[in-house]
């Protein structure tokens, strides 16, 4: 611990097994054993990410390359040092749980990481979510990035330069992440994702907020999208191998997973609709965050969102029966952009030209669904560049240019899929049926739409298939699902105007052809 400036006065536990981490959690009355063996935890009041509490240390290394602003808020080195010193003192007076792992299944581009936490179940989260090392690899392990995780330490805005008692700070010069004041485990994995998003473009690797799977013929598909749009659900398909559900890199050799686990939303999860994910929630070692339990049987009520809509399950990827190990694949044949359209006017599936693909990638339109961030209680329309702006230290144009180059080089087809509302906006219409979405995506990936007839959407200009097997034709045309045609026209015009207003900040750099590829 001395290499991290720690001088712990209590026990240090390194790379404990899941069983031992269960025992340590129960000994601290922090977690409950539930039906079928999973571990239940409560993270309130933080039941989602805290985007307003995320910082990057501004110094000579980051000054000219980080896209400073509302997403990448600067923190001075002095404030970082002050916060770090206080976190270290806090951790020195705690039992510590150290987990060594790797982020990135590519041997060349992966990153050795160490998580040091005061919480045993957060160490289990790191065990689940990152790539697990063999005993031989653990010997002599040298971290390349370290997370000092102090969920029970409260930052002081006046002393530490934070906005609240919560702070998630990345320091690229020190190669450290500080997490203070939040028990929400997702901050651990997303902070390392941000680190990779900063480091990998310099090595010619595109980091992506996407899931990935592969068909029997070796055809890889990517699914881009913010939380709640269906990345995990749609990539967990029994007929295809799962490469990963959230974070990937695209190198000269193909696609590789950053993680060794999945972090699935479980609100309204059912065995019928999502059998692979449901099965994983019933297994020992899985962590279930903020789910509601039957106090007598300890069975889970997945339909109860009274704690949060952002209930989560963390489990190793091999809990999914068709997981691909090691988590790598070839170059993608299909790329899917997922959006949960709260207006209910985007087609449920459409084919994009290369210019439209760049337009929609830079736009990153979706609706933030309830619970994914603090304060979000119902869907809110948002534009998140590259479908992952909260995790991008560099300017979105860096990632968009890399995607465009790779799409052109490998000839991947791009599809825009709306998993949001149909027949009206939020509060009037209903969410797109998962069975319909699966049928459309499967048709696209299988090549069944190659010779299909397409019609151009009158507002958004994208090509929409006239028919898809297993899907009623009227579902494919948003206007036909609305009872009130004038209300549809008004909602479509409103969303189109939002697209155009948002894209103004990219127009000069994107070029005329891409700028013209948006709504008409």
Query: Of these residues, 46, 114, 209, 333, which one is catalytic?
Result: 209
pLDDT tens readout for residues 314-342: 999 999 999 999 999 999 999 999 999 99
Does 49 qualify as catalytic in the annotation? yes
pLDDT digits (tens, 9 = 90+) for 200-218: 999 999 999 999 999 999 9
For residue 381, the model assigns a pLDDT of 82
Q: Are 352 and 298 part of one and the same domain? A: no
**Which entry of 46, 109, 149, 231 is annotated as an active-site residue?**
231
Q: How many CA atoms lie within 13 A of 360 on its CB side?
A: 27
**pLDDT tens digits, residue range 122-165?**
999 999 999 999 999 999 899 999 999 999 999 999 999 999 99
Average pLDDT rounded to a whole number, residues 443-452: 95
Q: Catalytic: 366?
A: no
Number of domains in the chain: 3
Residue 16 is encoded by which pair of tokens? 């404990």
| Band (226; pLDDT cuts 50, 70, 90) | confident
**Residue 512 domain-assigned (yes or no):** no
330's tokens: 């070839």
**Residue 315 is inside which H or E element, if any?**
strand 312-316
| 3-class DSSP state of 414 | strand
100, 245, 246, 457: the catalytic one is 246
The yes-or-no answer on residue 13 being catalytic is: no
- Both 346 and 471 in one domain: the answer is yes
Domain membership flag for residue 139: yes
Choosing from 232, 235, 266, 419, which is the catalytic residue?
Answer: 232
H helix count then E strand count, the chain: 14, 30
Domain of 83, in residue numbers? 2-30+54-182
Contact 303, 273 (CB under 8 A): no
- Which among 109, 114, 190, 436 is annotated as catalytic? 190
DSSP character string of 320-349: STTB-SS-EE--EEEEEEEE--TTS-S-SE
Q: What is the pLDDT of residue 375?
A: 60
Same domain, 282 and 242: no
pLDDT of residue 50: 95
109 pLDDT tier (thresholds 50, 70, 90): very high
266 tagged catalytic? no
In the residue annotation, 190 being an active-site residue is answered as yes
Which of 49, 132, 160, 328 is labelled catalytic? 49
pLDDT of residue 1: 72
Say whether 273 is catalytic: no
Q: Does residue 489 lie within any of the structural domains?
A: no
Q: Which two tokens stand for residue 67?
A: 């896209």
Confidence of residue 515 (pLDDT cuts 50, 70, 90): very high
What's 9's domain CATH number? 3.40.449.10
Average pLDDT value over all residues in the chain: 95
The reply to whether 173 and 127 lie within a common domain is yes
Domain contains 295: yes
Mean per-residue pLDDT, 91-99 = 98
493 within domain boundaries: no
Given pLDDT bands bounded at 50, 70 and 90, which one contains residue 289? very high
Backbone phi, psi, residue 247, to 5°:
-140, 125
Out of 312, 368, 413, 436, the active site residue is 312
What is the rounded distance in angstroms from the CA atom of residue 438 to the CA atom of residue 239? 12
Which candidate, 90, 95, 134, 133, places its Cα nearest to that of 114?
Answer: 133
- What percentage of the chain reaches a pLDDT higher than 70? 98
What does the pLDDT look like over 7-59, one tens digit per residue?
999 999 999 999 999 999 999 999 999 999 999 999 999 999 999 999 999 99
Torsion of CA 473, 475, 476, 481, to 10 degrees: 110
The confidence band for 379, taking pLDDT boundaries of 50, 70 and 90, is low
- Predicted confidence (pLDDT) at residue 373 exceeds the cutoff of 60: no
Say if residue 65 is in the same domain as residue 157. yes
Poorest-confidence range of 88-102, 131-145, 172-186, 361-375?
Answer: 361-375
pLDDT at 370 over 60: no
- Looking up tokens 């008409």, which residue turns up? 520
Catalytic residue among 227, 314, 339, 350: 227
Give the DSSP H/E element, type plus range, for residue 78.
helix 77-92
């Amino acid at each position: 611990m001395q290499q991290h400036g720690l001088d712990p006065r209590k026990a240090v536990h390194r790379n404990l097994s899941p069983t031992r981490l269960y025992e340590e959690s129960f000994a601290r009355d922090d977690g409950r054993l539930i039906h079928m063996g999973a571990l239940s935890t409560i993270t309130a009041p933080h039941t989602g990410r805290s985007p307003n509490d995320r910082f990057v240390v501004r110094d000579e290394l980051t000054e000219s390359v980080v896209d400073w602003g509302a997403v990448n808020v600067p923190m001075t080195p002095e404030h970082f040092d002050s916060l770090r010193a206080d976190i270290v003192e806090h951790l020195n007076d705690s039992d510590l749980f150290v987990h060594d792992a790797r982020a990135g299944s590519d041997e060349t581009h992966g990153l050795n990481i160490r998580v040091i936490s005061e919480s045993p179940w957060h160490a289990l989260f790191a065990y689940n979510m990152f790539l697990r090392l063999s005993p031989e690899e653990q010997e002599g392990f040298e971290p390349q990035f370290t997370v000092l995780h102090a969920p029970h330490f409260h930052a002081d805005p006046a002393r530490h330069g934070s906005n609240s008692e919560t702070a998630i700070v990345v320091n690229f010069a020190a190669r450290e992440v500080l997490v203070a004041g939040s028990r929400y485990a997702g901050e651990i994995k997303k902070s390392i994702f941000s680190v990779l998003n900063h480091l990998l473009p310099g090595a010619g690797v595109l980091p992506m907020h996407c899931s990935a799977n592969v068909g029997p013929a070796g055809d890889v598909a990517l699914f881009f999208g913010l939380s709640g749009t269906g990345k995990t659900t749609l990539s967990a398909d029994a007929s295809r191998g799962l490469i990963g559900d959230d974070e990937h890199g695209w190198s000269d050799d193909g696609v590789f997973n950053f993680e060794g686990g999945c972090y699935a939303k479980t609100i309204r999860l059912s065995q019928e609709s999502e059998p692979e994910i449901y099965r994983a929630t019933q297994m020992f070692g899985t962590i279930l965050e903020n789910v509601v339990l039957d106090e007598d049987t300890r069975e889970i009520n997945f339909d109860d969102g009274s704690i949060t809509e952002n209930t989560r399950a963390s489990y190793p990827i091999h809990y999914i029966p068709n997981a691909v190990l090691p988590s790598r694949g070839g170059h993608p044949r299909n790329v899917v952009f997922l959006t949960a359209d709260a207006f209910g006017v985007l087609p449920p599936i459409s084919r994009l030209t290369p210019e439209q693909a760049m337009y929609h990638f830079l736009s990153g339109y979706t609706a933030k669904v309830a619970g994914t961030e603090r304060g979000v209680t119902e869907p809110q329309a948002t534009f998140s560049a590259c479908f992952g702006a909260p995790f991008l230290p560099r300017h979105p144009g860096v990632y968009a240019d890399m995607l465009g180059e790779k799409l052109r080089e490998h000839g991947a087809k791009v599809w825009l899929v709306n998993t949001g509302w149909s027949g009206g906006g939020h509060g009037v219409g209903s969410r797109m049926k998962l069975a319909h979405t699966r049928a459309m995506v499967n048709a696209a990936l299988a090549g069944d739409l190659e010779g299909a007839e397409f019609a151009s959407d009158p507002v958004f200009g994208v090509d929409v298939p006239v028919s898809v097997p297993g899907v009623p034709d009227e579902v494919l045309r948003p206007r036909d699902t609305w009872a009130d045609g004038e209300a549809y026209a008004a909602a479509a015009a409103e969303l189109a105007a939002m697209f155009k207003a948002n894209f103004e900040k990219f127009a000069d750099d994107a070029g005329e052809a891409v700028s013209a590829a948006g709504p008409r």
